[in-house]
A = this chain, B = another copy of it.
Amino acid sequence: MPGQPHRVTLIPGDGVGPEVVRAARRIIEAAGVAIAWEEAEAGAAVFRRGDTSGVPRETRESIERTRTVLKGPLETPVGFGEKSANVTLRKLFETYANVRPARELPGVPTRYAGEGIDLVIVRENIEDLYAGIEHMQTPDVAQCLKVISRKGSEKVIRYAFELARREGRGRVTCATKANIMKLTEGLFKRVFEAIAPEYAADGIAADHLIIDNVAHQLAKNPAQFDVVVTTNLNGDIISDLASGLVGGLGFAPSGNYGDGVAIFEAVHGSAPKYAGKDVINPTALILSSIMMLRHLGETTAADRIEDAILVTLEEGKVMTADLARQAGGDVEHAASTSGFTDEVIANLGRQPGTVRSRSARPAEVGAAGAPVPAGAGAPPPVPHVRWTYGPDAASAVERRTIGVDLFLESWEAPETAGPALEALAGEALRLEMISTRGTMVYPPTGISPDAVGLLRARFVARAAGAEVADAEVLALLGRVAERFRWTHLEKLHVFAGEPGFTKAQGQ
């Protein structure tokens, strides 16, 4: 794209960040891509100046202009700021899809070498337990809310299918714990199942596996996977697992994609003990910058750089110390970060012998889903949600509130707490059950789980399935509070005829 340089916000970051970022930048420039870099600050120094976000206003403004970030790792120094600046950046720009390729690299010895691992984990990046909403229910019982939305699920699942289409990948696997968490993980699975048929015509197969089985299969036969889409915490664990199969974090790139903004970074940390020593392996950030170039439509340059790094790794003439150690090479005479970078630059234009750059791989999918041709010059389309969300859609859902779950701090035995709560239920409501940590203890079931000082009492309308008005809920709270310490209340809704709550174990 002559004449019109891309604008990219470049955040060198902390520790070894500046070195690996410099390596990537030098290679991109050597490949002839015109980028107007806007250097910007985030991380430790920013926190230490008293900015508790770690991301100053000028950096935010730069990203709003450029919409593209290449960044080194950021530190959150102990005692400054409660949240990681890496996470804050992802939240600020709603980069909802964390894309973590794990691909076998030539010259990187692993137990799985030769099996052809080439998978991508697409991790939801905004919600789930990472919303970090925690409340102590009692001095001794902590709670975190796992939040999964239909819209958030749809966005990342569409992203995963679009990625499969773009990269000519033939299968998307959804990984959840829907067998246990039928409403949250189940929602993610149901959205996946609703979207998958739209991509069947592109020849993209879709399946669902339970997350623990995915972890098991990743250890046993990782080459079977193509694209895996999953919720945030699951994705965190299995993407680091997948990195471990193909050489570790030194080779693990990542991209965080939102609607219009994308952030590219290595997965590894700031490794402060190596900072400034020109010894760190820059491969992870170089691979991340290749993802960035593809995002910017610079496919030809991306392929050239990818080929050059594949040649460099394949030949193994120039290795940083970490790789020399893994490969049984000469650690004492290992290459510096800049020496390795020089070698990659020298290899620009060469073709690797054993593997090819990603976009040179023949498409597996049909014509409709052919990969973006090299040099297409436009960023790949970012999927937007296609279903309808908002107040009108929500109002259209037939609904009833049929009761409440009330969480009480209490060490009372169910045999005494039960009748007491029944007596407090009032005329409109009745006590349906009491549970502790999800297991019903009243009415008695023969199960006597260990008490931890937190009971959940479920009250429902005496007339089965009848609506419970707010006034009745408030009156109930008033009565219960006379005798019990309550700390948390959930309404029980029926949406479109489906109960919006689960039963207790044993209920």
B152 touching A452 by the CB < 8 A rule? yes
The reply on A53 being an interface residue by CB < 8 A is yes
Residue of B nearest to A478 (CB): B474
What's the dominant secondary structure at chain A's contact region? mixed
Q: How far apart sit A278 and B404, CA to CA, in the bound complex (Å)? A: 51
A53 touching B411 by the CB < 8 A rule? no
CB distance from A489 to the nearest CB of B (A): 5
Residues of B close to A493: CB separation below 8 A: 135-136, 487
Q: How far apart sit A447 and B391, CA to CA, in the bound complex (Å)? A: 22
Interface string of A291-322 (1 = CB under 8 A from B): 00000000000000000000000000000000
- CB-contacts of A97-153 with B (<8 A): 111-112, 126-127, 129-152
A505 touching B136 by the CB < 8 A rule? no
- CB-contacts of A222-271 with B (<8 A): 233-234, 236-245, 248-249
A215 touching B216 by the CB < 8 A rule? no
Which of B87, B146, B488, B503 interacts with A491 by CB under 8 Å? B488
Residues of B close to A248: CB separation below 8 A: 216, 220
The reply on A490 being an interface residue by CB < 8 A is yes
The reply on A394 being an interface residue by CB < 8 A is yes
B409 touching A184 by the CB < 8 A rule? no
Q: How far apart sit A487 and B493, CA to CA, in the bound complex (Å)? A: 9
Residues of B close to A367: CB separation below 8 A: none
The reply on A350 being an interface residue by CB < 8 A is no
Number of A positions contacting B (CB below 8 A):
117
Residue of B nearest to A233 (CB): B177
Q: How far apart sit A493 and B407, CA to CA, in the bound complex (Å)? A: 14
Interface string of A81-104 (1 = CB under 8 A from B): 011000110011010100000000
CB distance from A490 to the nearest CB of B (A): 5
Residues of B close to A474: CB separation below 8 A: 474, 477-478
A148 touching B141 by the CB < 8 A rule? yes
B389 touching A140 by the CB < 8 A rule? yes
B129 touching A439 by the CB < 8 A rule? no
A489 touching B489 by the CB < 8 A rule? yes
Question: Beyond A233-B177, A478-B474, is A182–B91 a contact (Cβ under 8 Å)?
Answer: no
Most buried by B among A129, A236, A503: A129
A437 touching B131 by the CB < 8 A rule? yes
Interface string of A471-498 (1 = CB under 8 A from B): 0011001100100001111111101100
CB distance from A416 to the nearest CB of B (A): 12
CB distance from A132 to the nearest CB of B (A): 5
The reply on A346 being an interface residue by CB < 8 A is no
B240 touching A394 by the CB < 8 A rule? no
Which of B138, B405, B446 interacts with A92 by CB under 8 Å? B446
A142 touching B135 by the CB < 8 A rule? no
B490 touching A135 by the CB < 8 A rule? yes
Residue of B nearest to A219 (CB): B244
Residue of B nearest to A501 (CB): B135
26 cross-chain CB contacts under 8 A:
A83-B505, A91-B449, A111-B111, A131-B437, A132-B502, A132-B504, A134-B501, A135-B493, A139-B496, A141-B147, A142-B147, A142-B186, A145-B145, A145-B146, A149-B454, A151-B452, A152-B437, A212-B236, A212-B237, A212-B240, A215-B237, A216-B240, A219-B243, A394-B453, A474-B474, A488-B490
> Which 3 interchain pairs have the tightest Cβ spacing?
A131-B438, A219-B244, A136-B500
